[in-house]
Structure 1
Amino acid sequence: MNRSDVSRRSARAVIALLLILLALAAVASLGTGRYDIPFSRVIAILIAPLSPPDVAITPTETNVVFTVRMPRILLAMLAGAGLALSGAALQGVFRNPLVGPQVVGVSSGAAFGGTLAILLSLPRYGLLGSAFAFGLSALVLVYALNGIVARRNILALVLAGVVITGFFGALVSLLQYLADTEDKLPAMVFWLLGSFATGNWDKLLLVAGPVLLGSALLVGLRWRINLLSMGDEDARTLGVNVEPLRWLVLVLVSSIVAAQVAVSGIIGWVGLVVPHMARMLVGPDHRVMMPASLIIGALYLLLIDTVARTATSTEIPLGILTALIGTPVFAFVLRQTQRGANGL
């Protein structure tokens, strides 16, 4: 048995372990909150339709598990999986470990689109469409600016992202200045901080389509992204249509991020932090790294959301917690990247 076979089996074992951890964490989260439910009782409630428990399930327990917590937990898992997978795909496409939805401007563009939809009182699907349009526009602008400035510079894309993020951030501030302080402004501020507090089955259905479809297509393209991460010339030699593939990935990433932003606001740094965790566990091969990123992302955001709603008497916005974790990791990755560049 050669080394690649061993590493592949090891990666599959890690992914299987991550799936088990995700399932256990989801069940534990269903029972965690102001109304605590023991782990074994949660399992009994979940399997009650197949095997009724000895102690009858109360209406309160049913409401807490199925109405209050389950849609929120599934929403957090979907959002985390989508954001992490998007970050992994972007890093592969641009061959840059510093890339993520937050860094390359797609989150700020989607934030502007969502804020504009709130200002104009658009319905949920209008908010989703607006977030998608401006998220994709921001990504296109970053990609174009990076090509103009210095495509081969590893920091050029990050700098282009900073420029576009600042631009759309200024537009968001302008909309907040123009908003009604009694109604629109509080809604914008709460939404921009990021939260699953208003998560329900309707919002889950809204985000499930774009995230599940986009994630399935990205996972299906992972071997092509693997080739693209080797460089455009090598990818073309191996039969990959580079530009159409890159644009397809950009559209899929924008749709996933826009769907997440539409239902829960800005949740940054997940797409940057999680792919690095996945690489440390299973290696850089996108064929296993992207599925690992998807699972770790779901687990990561599930744990953060559980902390956000249980750590204090009032819920902590998710954007604050993910930024507190993400910014030091970004600084570490940036330092390691600079060391690698200086060593060449």
Structure 2
Amino acid sequence: MLYLLPVLLVFFSLFFGRYMLDPVSTLGILIVGSANAVLEAISGTLPLLTGQPCDLPMLEQTWESVESTVIFQIRLPRVLGALLVGGGLSVAGASFQGLFKNPLVSPDILGVSSGAGFGAALAILLSGNPLMIQLSAFCFGIIAVVATYSISRVYKTTSTLVLVLSGIVVGALFSAFLSLLKYLADPYDTLPAIVFWLMGSLSAVSNDDIIAVAPPILIAGFCLYAIRWRINLLSVGEEEARALGVDTERMTGVIIVAATVITASAVCISGIIGWVGLVVPHVGRMFVGPDFRRLIPTSALLGASFLLVVDDISRTLTATEIPLGVLTALIGAPFFAYLLTKKKVGWT
């Protein structure tokens, strides 16, 4: 049933909104539009392979062009973006919680969000080009984690405590840089753009953005899925994991790299969205327990579904769109407080 939840929410999100569409018509547009896209791709590829012209007939479209535009150019990229960002942040959060053996850890523990926020603000201040904003956010997110890891290596080990402390230092440093950029920005033009980006939104996500971030998020997510049983061992303790033959230093590096790539890729198209990677893994534990072999895929499904619902609320609740970071905090913080009162925050 859990695997069907994202599918049902995707279909609902495609026809639900200020511009309402008929569900049956939406399904027809999806089927016919996808079939025509495949036929068009075949028509363009076969001549290159065979040297013969190929003009396959397209299926007839019985709907208005505006409906097709709403689904394929506006809502579908946004829906796919919510699935990737929500699922990716949840998997990264669950992996970091297992690595650091701490249920209060989130994907930005090593400073990736602070670095990405600074990178985006710098690009907004210098150029304002959307591509440069995304690229700068991704690069500085990676730079922040590299700086965190480099500082922790002063102790010749990748101690989780030293990593966390290094992440706090680097995160605070990039937050200070970000505050400086906000102080220097034009308060009537640039500053509002920086603030809105930092609060998180999927309103500007396009098909090109999805094509750019889907491969790193999916590949890194698959890596974490493939080693999920080793995360079980690391969550018990480094000494126990070594006794069972696990190269803890290498596994720590793999988890950090994969989770960082996921978080940086997500942040570069959505801005900073908090609480998803912190709360969703705990909800997953309530469903399947602390076993990461089941927790990782469950977190991905729940996180994708959660952010998709939040995005639907964001774009329909009021006349102006509510930033996603605001909604996830309004929902996530009280729910996490509820988990604390019920003593359900932990590994059991």
- With normalisation by structure 1, the TM-score equals 0.82
**Cα distance in 1 between the residues matched to 2:60 and 2:204:** 33
Report if the CA contact (8 A) 1:114-1:261 is conserved.
Answer: no
CA shift in 2, pair 1:200/1:128, >3 Å: closer
1:209 aligns with 2:193: no
What is the alpha-carbon distance in structure 2 between the residues aligned to residue 336 and residue 232 of structure 1?
29
C-alpha contact (below 8 Å) 2:111/2:170 kept by paired residues? yes
User: Larger deviation: 318-327 or 296-305?
Assistant: 318-327
1:36 positional shift:
0.5
| Cα distance, 1:257–1:152 mapped onto 2, change above 3 Å | closer
Name the CA distance, whole Å, in 1 between partners of 2:269 and 2:174. 19
Decide whether the 8 Å contact of 2:103 with 2:345 is kept in 1.
no
Alignment check: 8 A CA contact 1:89 1:249 kept? yes
1:245 corresponds to 2:251: yes
| CA displacement 1:165-191 (0-9 Å, x = unmatched) | 444322211111122345432321221
Query: Root-mean-square deviation (CA), in Å?
Result: 3.2
Gaps spanning 5+ residues in structure 1: where? Answer: 1-16
State the partner residue of 1:197: 203
Cα-to-partner distance string for 1:5-53 (whole Å, 9 max, x where unaligned)? xxxxxxxxxxxx1221110110000001111113232222212256999
Partner of residue 11, structure 1 = none
In 2, Cα distance between equivalents of 1:186 and 1:139: 27
Choose the corresponding residue for 1:34, options 11, 14, 18. Answer: 18
Equivalence for 1:13: none
TM-fit CA distance, 1:203: 1.3
Q: Which residue of 1 aligns with 2:274?
A: 268
2:31 to 27, 43, 47: 47
Unaligned runs of 5+ in 2: 37-57
Aligned to 1:19: 3
* More divergent stretch after superposition (63-72 vs 204-213): 204-213
In structure 2, relative to structure 1, the CA distance for the partners of 1:60 and 1:125 (3 Å cut) is: closer
Q: 1:82 to 1:116 in 2, by over 3 A?
A: same
Letter in 2 for 1:218: L
Query: Percent identity between the aligned chains?
Result: 47
Cα contact 2:81–2:210 (8 A) shared by 1: yes
Q: d(CA) in 1 for partners of 2:191 and 2:209? A: 22
1:124 CA drift (Å): 5.5
Pick one of 87, 93, 102 that aligns with 2:93: 87
| Structure 1 residue aligned with 2:290 | 284
Contact 1:136/1:250 (CA < 8 Å) preserved in 2? no
Which has the greater radius of gyration? 2
- Tell me the equivalent position of 1:219: 225
**Paired residues for 1:287-298 under 5 Å:** 287-298=293-304
CA 1:230–1:243 in 2, change beyond 3 Å: closer, same or farther? same
Deviation for aligned residue 1:63: 1.1
